[in-house]
Structure 1
Amino acid sequence: METPPLPPRPAGSTEHRVLVLGTGGTIASEPTSEGYAPISEVTARDAFFKRIRQHPQLSDAPAEAFGAPVLAKRVGRDMKYPALRTPILDDKGNTVLYEILDLENHMDSSEMTPSDWNRIAELISEHWDAYEGFVVLSGTDTLAYTSSILTFLFAGAGKPVVVTGAQIPLREPRSDGWYNVLESLLVAGTLPYTGVSVVFCHQVLQGCRAVKASPDNLQAFETPSVPHWMRLNVKISPLDSLTRRSASRPPPLVKLEAFPTVLSCAIYPGITGSVLAAQIHSMPTCRAVIISAFGSGNLPVKEESGVLQALEAAVKREILVVVISGCYYPNIYPLYALGVRLLAIGVLPGGDLTHEAAFAKLIWLVSRKELSFKQKQDLFQTPIAGEMTVNLQ
């Protein structure tokens, strides 16, 4: 059976092509005996597509019965669904023609790994020339990690990559996923800006600055240190500083190390250097350590705690050691006396990096085998894609 053709494009409209990558998450979840969960079975995947196909804001085709056949085709390990087209989205006549490429393994995003990020990045790179923009559907728990790593992998590229999801599954009438998908298609397909972003609850957020702020609120994501890129209200309000689309191609794709390379440690009252050293030694493949410190980067430095000695020993083993703030509004002051001592032993200040961005940047750096340890240290302190502000005071 052949895929039915799309209805004629509305007269005077301009069509933009977008690829949507489905990874599972809440947006694609179905009820199970243990609660909602993303399901990899074909019937569940097809049901997700059927809901989108039926929605008048996401498809301009005549509504089909929910039980009508789904004519998907296998593409390698993944499933590609027939193209859909949005109705006209604005007064300029823009529409978006989009295809959903559903990844083989539907997952809760808490199961996301660097191998999954490699797969997502490979698919975007492979289809770069065929589409004007890309949307990644993700679970929300690690969505900000995904948007952060994609920011580094596609730094300077001239097309937008949008990451979105939902707090309520798409199968539910109150799902926030409907507008998140629609507005992601708008941003990826029709707006003149590039970069990796998070689209959620009528906001466009810088991908490497986003954090999940609430597991319950529909406005689930924020960028604590910087303004929103855009607010999708009655009028769309973009920042003047946004980068516009261009013909710039992505940099050579960095394949992320699949084994654990970045250790994250929180500083708490009474922690000792022996505890930190034990954590580092317990991960033989450790190449970087994030220290989430008090306030503006404070941690115990008395000789008897052994914390500075443990960090210095890690740096001598050419492990990148980074201190970030555990505060919601992060800000590290390397000019304070403690900061000077940390710099002296080779510990790097994280500035206003979020934990998600620090984690992603370190994975990106340690996966680059062509760089020396010193080059990795220098690049960590260099803004790559607006992920940090230097010389914070």
Structure 2
Amino acid sequence: MRILIIGTGGTIASSKTERGYKATLSVDEILEIAGIRGDGVKIDTKDVLNIDSTLIQPEDWITIGKAVFESLNDYDGIVITHGTDTLAYTSSALSFMLRNVPIPIVLTGSMLPITEPNSDAPRNLKTALTFAMKGFSGIYVAFMDKIMLGTRVSKVHSLGLNAFQSINYPDIAYIKGEEVVIRHRPELPTGEPSFDPRIDPNVAYLRLTPGLSPEVFLAVAEKVHGIVLEGYGAGGIPYRGRNLLEAVSRVAREKPVVMTTQALYGGVDLRRYEVGRRALEAGVIPAGDMTKEATLVKLMYALGRTNGLEEVRRIMEKNLAGELSSAF
């Protein structure tokens, strides 16, 4: 069995410098410090980036995706080490760009650098490697003994070790020693593996707050090709006092406006309340129960293929990689 570990940097690869922690270590150095040698499994390594994940850009998703796609035929599983801050964006991006992968692609990282005592890096690496050897196809995230679908994770804690949760979707598995205990088998598309890196990163993400100015919304909309608007609860746009709804309606005639929610669980249902139905009538596209990260990246993915509003809507409302439940 052969496993490839692709390094991109992040906390897991960090050491202490005069200016704070910084990604400095190669994958080989991480494995050496963690004491991971493979135990009969052939482990190859490849460093494609070595940066704090705050610095990750959409173009980097393409670099990582290309490295994965070019290695699919040579390995039984691939692990990607990544910083935690933007890991959920990268796992979503890879899930949309890389379709029908025949082997497990597992992203992981750590909240404490591998160079620090009691780091969670060895534990998370072991979790990722154990799952990567089990032959499941698809793109996943491994953290704190849990395996989660790549399009369903969000970082929910800035410091705690159990930093990631699967949102509106069950965990795929958990690791108990060397055993993989399956909790849910996702229904993912099948077919020939493909890599399509077309994305349009010119997308804005705005959070709805009381008093948000329609003029601010219009000024942002003028500069971008699409907007994700993070609303309250099940969704809706205010029209009393400051008529943001009218501004959104004007923009939605020409550019996609997708509504997600500030609530972590439950999703967007614009049919539930009158303010939501008005948003639907204005042309807003509901994000359903997708994570914030998957919603943003999916809009980039859709706009990379078309600037037609109806085609973007069709892509956003279709489940492509397990990111959207059928109920929505």
The alignment's TM-score, normalised by the length of structure 1, stands at: 0.78
1:365 to 302, 305, 312: 302
The answer to whether the 8 A contact 1:159-1:245 is kept is no
- Once the two structures are superposed, what CA deviation does each residue of 1:7-65 show, in whole Å capped at 9, x if it has no partner? xxxxxxxxx212211111000011110111113xxxx43xx524523654x11xxxxxx
Which residue in 2 is equivalent to 1:279?
Answer: 220
Which residue in 2 is equivalent to 1:117?
Answer: 61
Q: Which AA in structure 2 matches 1:277?
A: L
Shift of 1:157: 2.3
Q: Are 1:352 and 2:297 an aligned pair?
A: no
2:263 to 311, 321, 327: 327
Task: Quote the Cα distance in structure 1 between the aligned partners of 2:32 and 2:192.
Answer: 32
Shift of 1:263: 0.4
The answer to whether the 8 A contact 2:102-2:137 is kept is yes
Q: Are 1:35 and 2:20 an aligned pair?
A: yes
- Secondary structure of the 1:391 match is coil
Matches within 5 A, 1:192-231: 192-231=135-174
Point out the structure with max Rg over C-alpha: 1
Task: Quote the Cα distance in structure 2 between the aligned partners of 1:37 and 1:160.
Answer: 29
Change (3 A) 1:341 1:22: same
Instruction: State the Cα RMSD in Å.
Output: 2.0
The answer to whether the 8 A contact 2:236-2:270 is kept is no
The answer to whether the 8 A contact 1:293-1:323 is kept is yes
Task: Quote the Cα distance in structure 2 between the aligned partners of 1:275 and 1:149.
Answer: 28
Which residue in 2 is equivalent to 1:183?
Answer: 127
Q: Are 1:385 and 2:321 an aligned pair?
A: yes
The answer to whether the 8 A contact 2:94-2:139 is kept is yes
Matches within 5 A, 1:29-68: 29-39=14-24, 44-45=25-26, 49-53=28-32, 55-56=34-35, 58-59=36-37
- Once the two structures are superposed, what CA deviation does each residue of 1:353-375 show, in whole Å capped at 9, x if it has no partner? 11101011111111114x73311
Which residue in 2 is equivalent to 1:9?
Answer: none
Segments of structure 2 that go 5 or more residues without pairing to the other structure are none
How many aligned residue pairs are there? Answer: 326
Matches within 5 A, 1:200-349: 200-234=143-177, 235-242=179-186, 248-257=191-200, 260-281=201-222, 283=223, 286-302=224-240, 304-317=241-254, 319-336=255-272, 337-349=274-286
1:151 to 80, 95, 99: 95
Shift of 1:240: 4.5
Shift of 1:96: 2.7
Segments of structure 1 that go 5 or more residues without pairing to the other structure are 1-15, 60-85, 88-94
Task: Quote the Cα distance in structure 1 between the aligned partners of 2:267 and 2:123.
Answer: 33
Which residue in 1 is equivalent to 2:11?
Answer: 26
Which residue in 1 is equivalent to 2:47?
Answer: 102
Task: Quote the Cα distance in structure 2 between the aligned partners of 1:157 and 1:55.
Answer: 28
Change (3 A) 1:192 1:132: closer
- Secondary structure of the 1:305 match is coil
Runs of 4+ in 1 over 3 A off after TM superposition: 53-56, 242-246
Q: Are 1:174 and 2:115 an aligned pair?
A: no
The answer to whether the 8 A contact 2:79-2:129 is kept is yes
Change (3 A) 1:359 1:244: closer
Q: Which AA in structure 2 matches 1:342?
A: A
Greater CA drift, 328-337 or 16-25: 328-337
Task: Quote the Cα distance in structure 1 between the aligned partners of 2:189 and 2:259.
Answer: 34
Shift of 1:244: 8.9
Shift of 1:316: 2.0
Task: Quote the Cα distance in structure 2 between the aligned partners of 1:123 and 1:51.
Answer: 19
The answer to whether the 8 A contact 2:80-2:107 is kept is yes
The answer to whether the 8 A contact 2:131-2:180 is kept is no
- Once the two structures are superposed, what CA deviation does each residue of 1:296-322 show, in whole Å capped at 9, x if it has no partner? 1133123x42311211222222x2111
Change (3 A) 1:320 1:96: farther
The alignment's TM-score, normalised by the length of structure 2, stands at: 0.93
Shift of 1:252: 4.1
Matches within 5 A, 1:131-150: 131-150=75-94
Change (3 A) 1:245 1:208: closer
Shift of 1:253: 1.7
Which residue in 1 is equivalent to 2:310?
Answer: 374
Shift of 1:292: 0.5
- Once the two structures are superposed, what CA deviation does each residue of 1:217-262 show, in whole Å capped at 9, x if it has no partner? 111100131111101125532134345998x4323423334xx411
Paired-residue identity, %: 28
Change (3 A) 1:54 1:381: closer
The answer to whether the 8 A contact 1:193-1:245 is kept is no
Which residue in 2 is equivalent to 1:71?
Answer: none
The answer to whether the 8 A contact 2:188-2:321 is kept is no
The answer to whether the 8 A contact 1:164-1:198 is kept is yes
